[in-house]
Amino acid sequence: MDIEQNLGQVRSRIGQAALAAGRSPDEIKLLAVSKTMPSSVIAEAWQAGQRVFAENRVQEWQEKVSLLPPDCEWHLIGRLQTNKVKYLDGRVTLIHSLDRFSLLAELEKQGFKQGQTFSTLLQVNTARDQAKAGLLKEETEDFLTAVKDYPHVRVLGLMTIGALEASTAETQGFFRELRLLRDSLQQRVYPGVEMRELSMGMSQDFELAIAEGATMVRVGRQIFGAR
């Protein structure tokens, strides 16, 4: 497998999708989803110029972060268990899966202990898929209003995961719904909240997400191959 070639193809597709949507490719950050990949394989992607990586599990991130160059930017995209938050530190750039009040409270607790602020995205279940985590759209305003009481947590935008069995049109609709929600939330001021990021789109649908305004896409299989 030629990871450098795969990265080049993915970046080219991102650029083409952005231009087709009237956007600059520079607006979109590529997250290489490195879950289950050994550090040696991730290092190949780093050698090819990739600097931003995403992990699902805290334990796996812990094992890799000390083995890879310090200029790697690490994102956590999996459902975060509250009992794992204590293992996080400032080397995690962004947590994509803030989805419940108990997690918000634990991030605040550990942020206070460590003297740092955790940057997060609010996960929204736009597909209303019972197999997926995330708040429902109608729950987001109350949640964001509460963030002001948790000064060691900040919310930088929204994240969603499309439904597994959805059609192309349905998937694009889920992404559009997240963008419209973000746009509507930008009209209000929530202390501790900046509605600027949209994390949506994976290997099978990142071009649809870019067309709908994604600022971050999470691509694993197209870079590293099947797991």
Q: What domains, with CATH codes, occur in the chain? A: 3-224 (3.20.20.10)
Q: What is the pLDDT of residue 164?
A: 73
**Using the 8-state DSSP alphabet, how is residue 69 labeled?**
-
For 179-215, what is each residue's pLDDT tens digit?
999 999 999 999 999 999 999 999 999 999 999 999 9
For 47-56, what is each residue's pLDDT tens digit?
999 999 999 9
Using 70 as the pLDDT threshold, list the residues of the chain that sit under it: none
Q: What is the pLDDT of residue 85?
A: 98
- The pTM of the full predicted model, rounded to 2 decimals, is 0.96
Alpha helices by DSSP H, listed for the chain, are 3-20, 39-47, 58-65, 101-114, 140-146, 168-185, 206-211, 221-224
Count how many Cα atoms sit within 13 Å of the Cα of residue 80 in the half-sphere of its side chain: 31
Q: What is the pLDDT of residue 129?
A: 80
φ, ψ (nearest 5 deg) of residue 187:
-80, -10
Give whole-number Cα distances, 24 to 16, 49, 175, in Å: 10, 20, 19
Q: What is the pLDDT of residue 15?
A: 98
